[in-house]
Amino acid sequence: MNVLNLIVSRRSIRKFKKAAIAPKILENILEAGRWAPSGLNNQPWRFMVLSGKGKDILTKFTHYSYVIKGADKIILVFLDKKSSYNLEKDLMAIGACIQNMLLYIHSQKLGACWLGEILNQRAEIKKVLKFSKTLELKAVLAIGEPFSQPKKGKRKKLERLVVN
């Protein structure tokens, strides 16, 4: 698939089949994230991968518990405050890192949903997962094999987006 088709056809997937992601594919997902651009090449992202019971702990912290429950793997994406030099730029870099992972996931005919609502409970999640003080949770990705073909996406027309 060409890159534009890949970008356009990617959808958020919230329902998954019961199928395991191969370890090499999982490694490549993180690899796709690792190669994102960042200001001063500071690479401020950090990852934690959860599956099984470890991932199901997260279900009580979100309205999207069914997405976490059905996913094979969860990737938590953190900002490493020790590596940070400019919050605005670091967050943009983390966005690029996440999009790299989403596109690679889609290229492998897997599906994912970027979960942001769960961040409302980030203090509680930190207490349970006990990750380092220097890490701040910025996103959660639920990943698995799509249960069905998603519908076509919707976007604003390009004319509305380009300003003169």
Ligand X SMILES: Cc1cc2nc3c(=O)[nH]c(=O)nc-3n(C[C@H](O)[C@H](O)[C@H](O)COP(=O)(O)O)c2cc1C
Write out the residues near ligand X by the rule CB under 6 A: 11-12, 14, 64, 113-117, 153
Closest CB to ligand X among residues 8, 22: 8
Shortest Å distance, C-beta 163 to ligand X = 22
Residue nearest to ligand X (CB): 116
Choose among 78, 92, 65, 72: nearest CA to 131.
78
User: What distance in Å separates the CA atoms of residue 65 and residue 74, rounded to the nearest whole number?
Assistant: 12
Kindly tell me which of 16 and 64 has the beta carbon lying closer to ligand X: 64
Q: Which helix (H) or strand (E) is 138 found in, with range? A: strand 135-146
φ/ψ of 18, rounded to 5, equals -80, 85
Q: How far apart are CA 119 and CA 132, in angstroms?
A: 17
CB of 21 or CB of 67, closer to ligand X: 67
Min dist. Cβ of residue 164 to ligand X (A) = 27
Q: How far is the CB of 63 from ligand X (least distance, A)?
A: 8
